[in-house]
Amino acid sequence: MKVAVLGAGAIGAYVGAALHRAGVEVHLVARGAHLEAMRRNGVRVHSPRGDFTAAPHATDDPADIGPVDHVFLGLKAHQYAACGPLINPLLGPDTAVVAAQNGIPWWYFHGLTGHPLEGTRIEAVDPGGSVSAVLDTRRAIGCVVYCSTEIEAPGVIRHVEGTRFSLGEPDRTISARCKDLSEAMVAGGLKAPIEPDLRDDIWVKLMGNVAFNPLSALTRATMAEMCEHRDTRELVALMMSETIAVARAVGCRPRISIEKRIDGAQRVGHHKTSMLQDLEAGKALETDAIIGAVVEIARLTGVAAPTLRSVYAAIDLLGRKALTAAS
Reduce the DSSP state of residue 2 to 3 states and report it.
Answer: strand
Parallel, antiparallel or unpaired: strands 140-153 and 96-99 = parallel
Contact by Cβ (8 Å): 80, 73: yes
Contact by Cβ (8 Å): 106, 137: yes
Catalytic residues: 205
The span from the CA of 163 to the CA of 70, in Å, is 19
Is 143 exposed, middle or buried (CB count within 10 Å of its CB: 0-12, 13-18, 19+)? buried
> What are residue 59's DSSP bridge partners?
29
One-letter amino acid of 80: Y
**Dihedral-angle region of residue 185 (phi above 0 means left; psi in -120 to 50 means alpha; beta otherwise):** alpha
Angle at 146 between CA 186 and CA 319, to 5 degrees: 140
The span from the CA of 167 to the CA of 192, in Å, is 6
The set of residues, in sequence order, having a beta carbon less than 8 Å from that of 99 and lying 6+ positions away, is: 73, 80, 105, 106, 107, 135, 140, 141, 142, 143
**Listed residue (53, 304, 15) closest to 186, CA to CA:** 15
The set of residues, in sequence order, having a beta carbon less than 8 Å from that of 133 and lying 6+ positions away, is: 81
35 to 31, 118, 222: CA distances (angstroms): 5, 40, 30
The span from the CA of 325 to the CA of 302, in Å, is 36
